[in-house]
Amino acid sequence: MELSSVNNNQKVTVEDAFWSNYKQLVAEQVIPYQWKALNDQLPDTAPSHAIENFRIVAGEAKGDYYGTVFQDSDVAKWLETVAYSLRSFPDSELEEAADDVISLMGRAQAEDGYLNTYYMLVEPDNRWTNLRDNHELYCAGHLVEAAVAYYETTGKRAFLDIMEDYVELIRSTFGREDGKLQGYPGHPEIELALLRLFDTTGKREHLELAAYFIEQRGQEPHYFNMEKEQRQSLGAPSTWNDENTNFRLGYAYMQAHLPVRQQQEAVGHSVRAMYLYAAMAYLARRTDDAELQAVCDALWDDVTNRKMYITGGLGSAVNGEAFTDAYDLPNDSMYCETCASVGLVFWAKQMLLLSPDRKYADVLERAIYNGTISGMDLDGKRFFYVNPLEVNAYQVGRKDQEHVKQERQKWFACACCPPNLARLIASIEDYAYTQSKDTLYTHLYLAGTVQTTIDDVPVKLKQSHQYPWEGSITITVEGTGQFRLAFRIPGWCQEATTSVNGEVLAIDDMEQGYFILDREWTTEDRIELHFQLPVMRVYSNPKIGMNQGQVALQRGPVVYCLEEVDNGKSLAGLRLPRESEITAAFEEDLLNGVVILETDGLKAAESEALYQTDSPVLEPVRLRAVPYYAWCNRQAGEMRIWIHET
């Protein structure tokens, strides 16, 4: 079955209160804000210098390179975000600014197609000598993704041409043929980008180069060992990764410990893992490779059934920003980088395209409503890099937990997360639908429209609802003929009803969690889906030691948390009785409009002794929970998702 996403050129429109808000924020706040950041126009924040680096390379400014070795990728992600945002928010001034940056890139590009400001300014003689650490191919990948997106939105080829020239150079440099470097990137990204370039251009050599990078990974003799020896003879500058190499995780840090087909467990840096696994799934689809698909499924099982936070957060340890062992999911010291959850969304989409199974969409939805958007405040100006599930007063002084900020920050020296989240939000509609020849799959409930052709029948669906706060979804059909519509019944939903044109249908024709409506459709047919949205008490697997005896609250896809601003200090001392009824109510003026939860709880009274034989005195309190993604938008303080249950 050939699946494709339905995501190009305004085929999907968003008229969704929740996401329109976010998309508008990206268009009106985040893009201009990040533009200022890239141009060093933000006061009191770490400078970016990212645009200036290109100017210096182009000979249009004087100065030295500044920034991380992957500073170029911030510009790329900004351009990619702009490309998506222009689909919903045309803005000629913005497009002009983007064109100017693209034009600057063209002037900065070397004669032979090379384009990386770090190497061009700092180590001009050392191109491709440190694939392990220096993100050269990673930056190229982000630029390719941006170029593809920009071409797809605007039809302008300039950026795509620049990047196809660069990719040509990369192709002539890397591969198994004699005389080529048999390397691959320490940080995956270009693989995914090349597959997108293949999809857009139809040029098979892009797919082949992606396949090379994926399959070469982890082969012996190990390229990074050879490269290191080579580099020592060159006298190239040392990097952050020469001491305490790979955080003592070995090449597992970068998922290069084994050839990818032998990988069965998620290891190492979680963002790198997501980008690699997404590319593997993409390649498996494009090459119809069942073996590679099985590898992706084993990895999916490992991540989502053993190593994922309830928020869709990934990465249990700051050391290597990495996965650790199965069921090791500490809530306060974890990493849970915004980029990792964004990457999980990318991977989930690729898995859905391989095979429309609710389990992928459930995780995708979990990540987008929780661990991704928690990375940005509600006015789009401050960001979390690390998304804790629990913030305690006593963590403040811990030097080993300095990565866990208790408030969102304005900008980061390593600014990967804000633009990554921005490009996800700006393109959120690309994650709502996929289709096969005869079926349109609805994965996400995103109010708005989708237009496509199913079995040669032009079809338009229109979703209306107040999801995720309400569970009543109305879908109107435009299009006449026989085709199949598949609607995801979310995994969290234990009671769903449906009707077509008022006629109640039994939800019995289910395929992998999708309710299939296969019939002759007529324009103005009206489908009603109703998902019961009770407040759910969620329990962890007994092997997650740190969550035992605790419960999390979830309603629909939204995970809730308690904040100090609502519940006072010492949140760990709160207790939620098993039998307490929890009420949900929409509060329009709170946090841009959210459903909040309230219930009767208990709180352990303060006491002096550290240890005592009297069990804590529990006093009645009213508990108030807000959506996790919106925490720390009123005031900083304690927060926790997992609540002790009595």
Cβ at position 629, least distance to a copy of itself in Å:
17
Tokens matching residue 97: 């600014």
Is 542 among the residues that bind a copy of itself (CB under 8 A)?
yes
Is the bond preceding residue 468 a cis peptide, omega within 30 degrees?
A: yes
Query: For 340, phi and psi rounded to 5 degrees?
Result: -70, -40
Is 572 among the residues that bind a copy of itself (CB under 8 A)?
yes
Considering only residues 291 to 330 of the shown chain, the ones binding a copy of itself according to CB under 8 A are: 304-306, 308, 310, 317-320, 324-328
Give the x/- contact pattern for a copy of itself in 459-498, rule: CB under 8 A: ---------------------------------x-x----
Q: Is 296 a catalytic residue?
A: no
- How far apart are the C-alpha atoms of 589 and 396, rounded to whole Å? 31
Judged by beta carbon, residue 149 or residue 551, the one nearer a copy of itself is 551
Is 394 among the residues that bind a copy of itself (CB under 8 A)?
yes
Is 538 among the residues that bind a copy of itself (CB under 8 A)?
yes
Tokens matching residue 250: 């070995």
Is 644 among the residues that bind a copy of itself (CB under 8 A)?
yes
- How far apart are the C-alpha atoms of 228 and 349, rounded to whole Å? 36
Give the angle 69-341-629 at the CA atoms, nearest 5°: 115
Cβ at position 614, least distance to a copy of itself in Å:
7
Name the residue among 182, 184, 72, 177 with its Cα closest to residue 122: 72
Judged by beta carbon, residue 367 or residue 552, the one nearer a copy of itself is 552
Strand, helix or coil at 287? helix
10 Å CB burial of residue 210 (0-12, 13-18, 19+) is: buried
Q: Which helix (H) or strand (E) holds 32?
A: helix 31-38
Of the candidate residues 288, 523, 549, 585, the single one contacting a copy of itself (CB under 8 A) = 549
Cβ at position 537, least distance to a copy of itself in Å:
6
Strand, helix or coil at 382? coil
10 Å CB burial of residue 413 (0-12, 13-18, 19+) is: exposed
Cβ at position 610, least distance to a copy of itself in Å:
5
Is 609 among the residues that bind a copy of itself (CB under 8 A)?
yes
Is 249 among the residues that bind a copy of itself (CB under 8 A)?
yes
Give the x/- contact pattern for a copy of itself in 173-192, rule: CB under 8 A: --------------------
Strands 550-555 and 558-563: antiparallel
Q: Is 416 a catalytic residue?
A: yes
Judged by beta carbon, residue 43 or residue 542, the one nearer a copy of itself is 542
Catalytic residue of the set 321, 390, 429, 563: 321
10 Å CB burial of residue 356 (0-12, 13-18, 19+) is: buried
Is 333 among the residues that bind a copy of itself (CB under 8 A)?
yes
Cβ at position 394, least distance to a copy of itself in Å:
4
Strand, helix or coil at 606? coil
Is 597 among the residues that bind a copy of itself (CB under 8 A)?
no
CB count within 10 Å of CB 334 equals: 27
Of the candidate residues 537, 591, 592, 600, the single one contacting a copy of itself (CB under 8 A) = 537
Residues noted as catalytic: 321, 416
| Residues in touch with a copy of itself (CB under 8 A) | 247-249, 304-306, 308, 310, 317-320, 324-328, 333, 390, 392-400, 492, 494, 536-546, 548-552, 570-573, 575, 578, 603-616, 644-646
